[in-house]
Amino acid sequence: MSVHLGWNCDNVRASYDEIPKAVQEEVYAGAKAFVKANKGRYKCGGYIYSGNGQELGQFWAKLAVGNAKILKVSSNASITNDSDVYSLAGAVYGVFSDKECKNVIATLTTDNSGNTEEAEVKAGTVYIKEQSAPKGFKLDHTIYPLTVEAGKTATLKVSDTPKVTETLLELFKIDMETSKDMPQGNASLAGAEFIWQYYDGYYNKDNLPAEPTRIWTTKTIAEKNGDGTAFDTLPYGKYRLDESKAPEGYLKDGAVSREFIIAENGKIVDLTGEESSIYNQIKRGDIEGVKIGAGTHKRLADVPFKLTSKTTGESHIVVTDKNGQFSTASDWASHKHNTNAGKTSEDGIWFGTAEPDDSKGALLYDTYVIEELRCTSNKCFKLIPAFDIVVSRDRTVIDLGTLTDEYEKEISIHTTATSKDGEKVVEAGKEVTIIDTVKLDGLEIGTKYQLKGWQMIKDENAELVIDGKRVENDYSFVADSETMEVQIVFTFDASELGGKDLVTFEELYDLTNPDEPKKVTEHKDTTDKGQTVSVKEKSETPAPEEPEKPSTPDTPVQKTDSPKTGDTTNVIGLLALLGASSIGLAGTYFYKKRKAKKL
């Protein structure tokens, strides 16, 4: 609205003849006062219409403000209600037009009910922040946005936290055996539940009311430095603390009540000391069983079983007696006798760091792996697979029953080493091959095996190493029969091994678990002729001898008497002599040539 309202606006006004001056001035004064009182509360506008006749004007004003108020409550009415320590009255809140809360437009103060008066603000969003907390409460630093509509009242509901959070109570649960705030086995000191009984006043045992003013239930939680609880919403008064539920793996028996008083703000109530902590006994149990062999049901004596905690890895050994029986209970063998020696059935067993106590079980609350170990008594048997047992009940002996070992079929091995021609002798050379034929009996059909072999020098009882590497080979196969025959071939440089005897060693592995191959049999005997191949020196072939050349026959001396025509006697004799000489020379040559080839 214009403060001029037509006056002093180019002297445009209504005629005094039509509207007296006094009336106009009264209207003007009233309008001016309204504008001043409602400045900013209305959104105004208008239009001027011009035509052929008189000009017309249309004006409007729309309310642009609403109201804001606050309703405050306690975040923990069970503590603050009906208490002189706490009051909702006197909380001071600032109402701001900006998020940074720098431009204050109103201030609101709560009464005993937590209500404030209304503050008129422009429609839109305002920001409210507590500037002063009421008695017994913490100051709330939160900035609250509040949306206000024109002509309506918006209420902000807030809560304050009682200052009792400044009182801290710390409680530790302690293992009764170790007197430490660390659990044993798979137990936990977290999860214990406590009943807090609060009496509104300072009482002693003689005048303590029959019923508490309030009751809370809390439980311990796991912390880095121990297992405890921090209860930080406690009003002043007398308290009694009783354990209502033991944590996992522990007994509630023996846990005592604790009483304390909170009489000043900010005091820390410490129940973590040796005298004030709450102690619990961990659950303990035992195991027992009987060990026999299949078929004859023979009791197996002196068989060791390894017991291992799956939580801590702690491990001890219990041994069967002459009747194949074993037990960890103290009435079988005192926990204190040769504790954890694991040599005989009379040695005691005890898990944990506390001193052995025959009134308790040997095994802590936990899950254990039981594993039969190989020994003389079960040598010919197949060991039972490892299995788990759980000790969860106090003073209970877990009966494992009769543990039976099945007879394990023994795998026999027979080997024969030869050259590739089947001979027991090879000649030294750059590339020599030895084939070891291995006959196996007692295989388990469907099982994967690996046969490993290597060469040994007999007279040195040492592995054959060439160019820094052991001469070895292997062969893997899946048994399709209980009896099988396989071969391993060894090819190597034997140039320098002339005169040596080589013996083949073999080992057979079960590959059921490829990560941990299990050796099931072997054949390693340097005196076994079947596994031995001799290397002979390489023979040198002599160069062939040159044949002797026949000597030149003497020229016959002619007689002075020349043969005559028709005289055949001397000619025939001469021819016969020449033929005989030729035969003799040829025989000598071929004989010598054959002799040279034989050498």
Q: In degrees rounded to 5, what are phi and psi of residue 144?
A: -105, 125
Closest CA to 85 of 238, 260, 209, 265: 265
| Token digits of residue 335 | 């926990």
N-terminal to C-terminal alpha carbon distance within the chain? 145
Under CATH, to which class is 167-281 assigned?
mainly beta
Q: Which residue has the tokens 């078929």?
A: 295
Burial of 162 (0-12, 13-18, 19+ CB in 10 A): buried
Q: Which H, E and C letters describe 490-501, residue by residue?
A: EEECCCCCCCCE
Q: DSSP readout, 457-482?
A: EGGGTEE-EETTEE-EEEEEEE-SSS
Confidence grade of residue 77 (pLDDT, cut at 50, 70, 90) = confident
Percent of the chain with pLDDT over 70: 76
User: Rounded CA gap, 563 and 26, in Å?
Assistant: 201
Among 4-18, 351-365, 483-497, 520-534, name the one with the lowest average pLDDT.
4-18
User: Rounded CA gap, 281 and 35, in Å?
Assistant: 83
User: Rounded CA gap, 187 and 223, in Å?
Assistant: 15
Q: Which residue has the tokens 């299995």?
A: 387
Alpha-carbon distance values, 535 to 416, 499, 539 (Å): 16, 5, 12
User: Rounded CA gap, 393 and 282, in Å?
Assistant: 10
Considering the chain, tell me which residue range(s) the CATH 2.60.40.3930 domain(s) occupy: 412-536
Alpha-carbon distance values, 510 to 384, 449, 479 (Å): 17, 5, 11
Q: Which residue has the tokens 């005997």?
A: 525
Q: Which pLDDT value is given to residue 525? A: 94
Q: Find the helix or strand (DSSP H, E) in which 535 lies.
A: strand 532-536
Over the range 87-96, which residues count as b (16 or more CB within 10 Å of their CB) and which as e? bbeebebbbb
For residue 574, is pLDDT > 50?
Answer: no
Burial of 112 (0-12, 13-18, 19+ CB in 10 A): exposed
| Token digits of residue 321 | 């007696």
Q: Which residue has the tokens 């506008």?
A: 45
Q: What is the DSSP letter of 428?
A: -
Distance of alpha carbon 517 from the chain centroid: 25
Grouping H, G, I as helix, E, B as strand and the rest as coil, residue 589 is helix
Q: Which CATH superfamily is domain 65-164 in?
A: Immunoglobulins (2.60.40.10)
Q: Which pLDDT value is given to residue 75? A: 86
pLDDT in tens, 336-395: 999 999 999 999 999 999 999 999 999 999 999 999 999 999 988 989 999 999 999 999
Looking only at the bridges linking them, the beta strands covering 193-199 and 214-219 are antiparallel
Q: What contacts 381, CB < 8 A, 6 or more positions away?
A: 293, 294, 300, 405, 406, 407, 408
User: Rounded CA gap, 526 and 285, in Å?
Assistant: 54
Contact assessment for residue 511 and residue 449, using Cβ atoms and an 8 Å cutoff? yes
Q: DSSP readout, 259-310?
A: EEEE-STT-EEEE-STTTSEEEEEPEEEEEEEEEETTT--B--S-EEEEEET
Q: Degrees (nearest 5) of the Cα angle 293, 294, 299?
A: 30
Q: Which pLDDT value is given to residue 193? A: 84
Q: Which pairs from 111-118 meet CB under 8 Å and 24+ separation?
A: 112/87, 112/88, 113/88, 114/70, 114/71, 114/72, 114/73, 114/88, 114/89, 115/69, 115/70, 115/71, 115/72, 116/69, 116/70, 116/71, 116/72, 117/69, 118/67, 118/68, 118/69, 118/153
User: What average pLDDT does the chain have?
Assistant: 82
Confidence grade of residue 587 (pLDDT, cut at 50, 70, 90) = very low
The CB density around residue 259, as the number of other CB atoms within 10 Å, is 14
pLDDT in tens, 447-463: 999 999 999 999 999 99
Closest CA to 200 of 184, 212, 183, 190: 212
pLDDT in tens, 198-207: 776 556 767 7
Among 58-72, 140-154, 221-235, name the one with the lowest average pLDDT.
221-235
What's the number of CA atoms in the CB half-sphere (13 Å) around residue 592? 13
Contact assessment for residue 342 and residue 318, using Cβ atoms and an 8 Å cutoff? yes
The alpha-carbon radius of gyration of the chain (Å, integer) is 57
Q: Which pLDDT value is given to residue 562? A: 41
Grouping H, G, I as helix, E, B as strand and the rest as coil, residue 27 is helix
User: Rounded CA gap, 130 and 158, in Å?
Assistant: 10
For residue 256, is pLDDT > 90?
Answer: no
Confidence grade of residue 162 (pLDDT, cut at 50, 70, 90) = confident
The CB density around residue 468, as the number of other CB atoms within 10 Å, is 5
Fold of 283-407: Immunoglobulin-like (2.60.40)
Closest CA to 97 of 68, 131, 62: 68
Q: Tell me the CATH number for domain 412-536.
A: 2.60.40.3930
User: Rounded CA gap, 245 and 226, in Å?
Assistant: 18
Considering the chain, tell me which residue range(s) the CATH 2.60.40.10 domain(s) occupy: 65-164, 167-281, 283-407
Contact assessment for residue 162 and residue 180, using Cβ atoms and an 8 Å cutoff? no
Contact assessment for residue 239 and residue 196, using Cβ atoms and an 8 Å cutoff? yes
